[in-house]
A and B are shown apart, each in its own frame.
Chain A
Amino acid sequence: MLRYILRRLAWSVPTLLLVTFLVYLALRIGTDPVESYKRVNPRASRAKIQQYIDINGLDPNFVQGYFKWLKNFITGEWAPSIKGRREVWPALKDAMANTLRLGTAATVVGIFFGLIAGVLAALRPGGRRDVFINTSAFVGISIPPFISAILLQLLFAVYWQRWFGESLFPTSGVYPAGHSGFDLFLMLKFMALPTIIVAIQIIATYSRYMRSSLLDVMNSDYMRTARSKGISERRILIKHGMRNALIPVVTIAALDVGSIVGGLIITENIFAYPGMGLYFLKSFGDGDFPLLMPWMVVIVASILLFNLIADISYAWLDPRIRLE
């Protein structure tokens, strides 16, 4: 197992290099970092521009440039942002922490309720409860997150305040302006709405996965064997049904980080929540290459990491799978 993990980690290095090279290419072509720099800093001297090109590896030759960038990235010589010459790492670190907090909260809430809803639906397929859950989930995945964000914000933040004097959930940030220090209650209140919006998507998706997976399992021969043993329905469901039904769901969950991060980006933007999404949209809008590249590296690395987690959890849940 350990050897497998180490080998996979070793293998992820070339993948990471290849994908970051593709990202580098895409950003070079798509955002023209040098032009962006000149636009943001119109009075920059020739030497300044050359220095910017050198440290970011923006040579006319893409391959050479990439390796230059890579060397500086690894040795920790990161260029400051083009706007305001901010240091990149502290900004990235904060964004990561904030997103991790929102993402974890939403994922935990979402998967928990999603799995429960899926199980409830699968227990009596075709019943009224199943139709209700399944239809709600369908509606849930059909509504893009920014739409639910706008509508919920309008209702709970703006109109709630008009009707009841105080908004139920604030609409932006982690804390109110000027607040300092740690306040759990305040933080939860600020995070509630974005969490709900990301969680709705996750609940909708996972209740459908879980339902169909559990239905497959319920019709399998070993469930009939379990029933023929005369054990309780609950035990049949939990010991024999759930464990098997979770195998595909867990795998999908770990592979799904991309779409969860996608939902986070959109939601963060709407709530001005200072996480990875806001960071990305801001720096992408500015064409801020020094900010963008490390962000991309983090995203690619976490996708690879979750892929690995998917495979490991798959093998852990299913004894038929051997990690070689």
Chain B
Amino acid sequence: MNRIDKIISALEEAANHPAKAVKASMKETGKKAVGCFPYYTPDEIIYAAGLLPVGLWGGQTDIKLADKYLQSFCCSIMRINVEQGIKGMYDFLSAVIIPAYCDTLKCICDNWHVAVPQTYLIPMVYPQHRKIASGMAYLIDEYKRVQKELETIAGKKITEKDLEDSIALYEDYRETMRHFTAIVSKYSKTLNAKTRHLIIKAAYFMDKRLYTIKIKELMEELKRLPEEKLDGIKVVVTGILAETDALLDAFVQNRMVFVADDLAHESRQFRTSVRSEGTALERLAYRIADHEGCSLLYDEEKKHGQLLIDLVRENHADGIVICMMKFCNPEEFDYPIYKKEIEAAGIPMLYLEIEQKMDSAEQVRTRIQSFAEMIKLGSSSKSTIG
């Protein structure tokens, strides 16, 4: 195995076996771990406390126990998180943070106390008025409350310097990831849709410092190679996340390259930087205020569609793939608005309804294939597969 393969396979291994990867990271760093539900948890504060933030974005577990709490029309990612919690799969975490962005997440917080009493819960609320002074002040108060809880878990006080160091590390991580996603089109075979996904996902289960070093190494190695000819279809992908394996395999088989993404699980985590001015917590709050185009954050101007169109233009993409998480209301509400704008811009669009645990990917596979064929034929006028 060459160096590139080695790095990639280590990252893939982490992404495919989260519990094992997290436990290894805990051992390697001697840190306790804190679970972070989607979305935008203050990982910088967790890290500053000397704890390991771990992403909890569902998985591949069959749903049985969670049915006691949640009807079948709850999004699969939350049903699976609750299932895994009840099963004790998160018992090795010192706490979980659940931010109440959507109605489902509010309920998950409430159920958690009862369903998973063994895993300590730190609930959080983000302000929807994130841009006005009172919203920022509220968010900073929430951060302070969470900070106290984390200090108790870590058994240490977090200083301003700890926070600034942590923010610097996360800024480096975010910048590195933006570079990484930008080079995908140059190494589209090595970084095919599935590999790209797994590499990005691995970050959730590793120490950010060590992970960022790995990604930098990987990019260094890649840059030594000649660029790979991109002979597939270039797409921008949007949604909460792009999983399962079968779905990703279908993209790879149809040579669809993710030249950019707007996934909550991927680029939405790192496309926005903190501002340079203010205290550490203010800087974190600015990041939420400045973040655009996410269905979870109030935006009466609905910039989501324009953001997608810009991503297509900047990356010379052939189309947009929407991975619509079934039963996800925030994403489902954004769709009709950006759909109109994307159609008006003449950009081909593929709408896929996904669940994290799909019984059969057959339908999805067929639709991906038809979309790929349609793009190859260059018929972009009547081009929505929806």
**Is A bound to B?**
no
* Residues of A that sit less than 8 Å from B by CB: none
* Residues of B that sit less than 8 Å from A by CB: none
